[in-house]
Amino acid sequence: MSESECLSVYDAIRLRRDVRAEFTGEVVDDSTLLRILEAAHRAPSVGNSMPWDFVMVRNPDTLGRFADHVAEKRREFQESLPDDRAETFNPIKIEGIVESGTGIVVTHSQSRGGTHVLGRATVPETGIYSTILAIQNLWLAATAEGVGVGWVSFYDTPFLTELLDLPADVRPVAWLCVGPVREFQTVPDLERFGWRNRRPLDAAIHWERFGSPELAPE
């Protein structure tokens, strides 16, 4: 896709979806993948620490082992639900690990940047916030390229740490299923399947103090 054909950032934000079922089965080509990773790597970060790394996973054996683990975690979650929620959850697909063909595991290192990271002294979580901003950049850039991303968090951290040989100070933050898609759904899956609806913007905006609608401008 040429730069002039790219979506505006507002279009990409509007179109972006968590993708599970719409992967075509083709593997995203490496030049597109690199552009997406470059967008991720341009994210802001506390103290310019850039505490993220990206582990590309395409080995079918690794994809299969992770998918089996996620299936087990899905089962455990389903069993923890009351009957009516279990029924609603049942048809919801929560990953496209094998079909997407590429897993990008985004990791976070809290030791990156040394001990005096500018801006992190008072709010240690700013480190992980930075890594999550890289994920959002990645997600929007992928959308602009017509590439789907599905975030999988149904895993035990020690399992994924061992699967990928992550060093002691590096923790996985997300497994992202990444691949070309047939289409982007217009409504989030969880809404389509009756699990949970989006909140209206009005409910999320507060003026001056939390929960003071009387202070909103006329």
Ligand X SMILES: Cc1cc2nc3c(=O)[nH]c(=O)nc-3n(C[C@H](O)[C@H](O)[C@H](O)COP(=O)(O)O)c2cc1C
Q: Residues 54, 89, 129, 151: which binds ligand X (CB under 6 A)?
A: 151
Q: Which residues pair with 151 in a beta bridge?
A: 176
Q: How many residues does the chain have?
A: 218
**Token reading at 130:** 């930075």
CB-wise, 196 or 212, nearer to ligand X? 196
**Token reading at 192:** 């389509």
Q: Closest approach of Cβ 95 to ligand X, in Å? A: 6
Counting contacts by CB under 6 A, is residue 119 touching ligand X? no
Q: Closest approach of Cβ 105 to ligand X, in Å? A: 13
Contacts of 195 (CB under 8 A, 6+ apart): 88, 89, 92
**Which residues within the stretch 93-112 sit at the binding site for ligand X (CB under 6 A)?**
94-95
Taking alpha carbons only, the member of 37, 75, 73 closest to residue 55 is 37
Q: Count of H helices and E strands in the chain?
A: 9, 4
Counting contacts by CB under 6 A, is residue 190 touching ligand X? yes
- Tell me which stretch binds ligand X (CB under 6 A): 15-23, 42-50, 51-59, 97-105: 15-23
Residues at the site binding ligand X, with contacts judged by CB under 6 A: 17-18, 20, 94-95, 151-154, 188, 190
